[in-house]
Amino acid sequence: MKLKEQVLLILMSSKGDYISGEDISKQLYVSRNAVWKAINTLRADGFIIDAVQNKGYLLSGGETDDFTRYGTLRIKQLLKKPAADADITIKDKVTSTNTLLRSSAENGAPDKTVLIANEQTKGRGRHGKSFYSPADSGIYMSILLRPEFKADKAFFITAGAAVSVVRAIKKICGIDAGIKWVNDIMLDGKKVCGILTEAVTDFESGSLQYAVMGLGININRPKGGFPSEISDIASSLYSDKVAGNELKCSLSAEILNNFFDIYSHTSIEKLIEEYKRYSVVLGKRIKVISSNEEYYATAIDIDTNARLIVKDNTGNTHTLSSAEVSVREGQGL
């Protein structure tokens, strides 16, 4: 990391307080003159930095509100191994982080490339559905992976992402969310996060050439609320306050730390065990909507391939690899 970036991170971490050039130089083991040159370089880059004699330097508070300018450095500062070497880019507005990262993958982008956006104009969900992604309301993130396991284990990526998000929401926000099989994160019966994993397979070997895991988290309630067509099923982590960019950075970093730790070190068995603990469908009456039928059932288990096992009203057991399930519609039936 360049000296100016290290200085910028220290200014960001001072949280609105002045910090002296001497203190910065001691933290970075450089001369005060080197700090002064780095400050001037940052100013030339457009950062607003106040300097007061006998007090030091202060990064303008308004500047830290720019998620795209500060987010990358702040998130990198918060990352731990094995997430620390992720290549992170933040953009203000994109069509779809998954679409752009898939294009990057085809052009040779490496494992652990991460794209985060403040807004998506064509956000995508499962089965070709759109994902509402307005500006300043959430985190829209995609991760490029080049796994060494076979395509039939790709469910590990989605399950790992779901557990990572639930853990992060609890730690950073103090909120208990749950997982609705297979890829939705729920709060008080409404969806606050969706996950979409897309993969390209080598048909001869059965291995994954690459996978792109995308997730969108509704943090703040959108200005004007959610569109009418999703207002009864979508929600946000916060509805009575606006969470700032420090929380967005902390939540993004915690998700990445969790995900890459699970991806690198956690067995499938342990992952599914934790996934089941967060489930909001197990033991519940649900409505199952598959490609060719709809029926009510009770969710009884999730196996080590992340398949949902249900028992229908006639007592027959079904093992689901993919389907839509609704807890609310199945209750009381």
The per-residue pLDDT for range 195-237, each reduced to its tens digit, is: 999 999 887 777 889 999 999 999 999 988 999 999 999 999 9
Q: Percent of the chain having pLDDT more than 70?
A: 96
State yes or no: pLDDT of 330 exceeds 60: no
Of 88-92, 206-210, 242-246, 327-331, the least confident: 327-331
State yes or no: pLDDT of 154 exceeds 70: yes
Cα separation, 298 vs 280, in Å, equals 12
- In three-state secondary structure terms, 331 is coil
Confidence at 65, pLDDT banded by 50, 70, 90: low
114 residue type, one letter: V
Q: Percent of the chain having pLDDT more than 90?
A: 74
State yes or no: pLDDT of 332 exceeds 70: no
Model pLDDT for residues 167-195, shown as the tens digit of each residue: 999 999 999 999 999 999 999 999 999 99
Q: How far is CA 293 from the centre of its chain?
A: 33
> What value does the mean pLDDT of the chain take?
91
Cα separation, 214 vs 281, in Å, equals 23
State yes or no: pLDDT of 62 exceeds 70: no
State yes or no: pLDDT of 290 exceeds 50: yes
Domains plus CATH for the chain? Answer: 3-62 (1.10.10.10), 66-277 (3.30.930.10), 285-330 (2.30.30.100)
184 residue type, one letter: D
pLDDT at 263: 96
The pairs formed by 265-273 with CB atoms below 8 angstroms and a separation of 24 or more are 265/82, 266/160, 268/153, 268/156, 268/304, 269/304, 271/156, 271/159, 271/160, 271/163, 272/159, 272/302, 272/303, 272/304, 272/306
> Rounded to 10 degrees, what is the CA torsion of 320, 321, 322, 328?
40
Is residue 192 within 8 Å of 239, Cβ to Cβ?
Answer: no
274 residue type, one letter: E
Model pLDDT for residues 309-322, shown as the tens digit of each residue: 999 999 999 999 98
Q: Work out the average pLDDT over 51-76.
A: 81
**Running DSSP on this structure, what letter comes out for residue 121?**
S
Of 74-78, 195-199, 233-237, 263-267, the least confident: 74-78
Is residue 101 within 8 Å of 144, Cβ to Cβ?
Answer: yes
Confidence at 331, pLDDT banded by 50, 70, 90: very low
SS (H, E, C) 134-153: CCCCEEEEEEEECCCCEHHH
Of 65-74, 179-188, 278-287, the least confident: 65-74
Single out the residue of 54, 72, 55 nearest to residue 8, CA to CA: 72
pLDDT at 333: 43
Edge-to-edge strand list for the sheet holding 308-312: 317-320, 308-312, 294-302, 285-289, 324-326
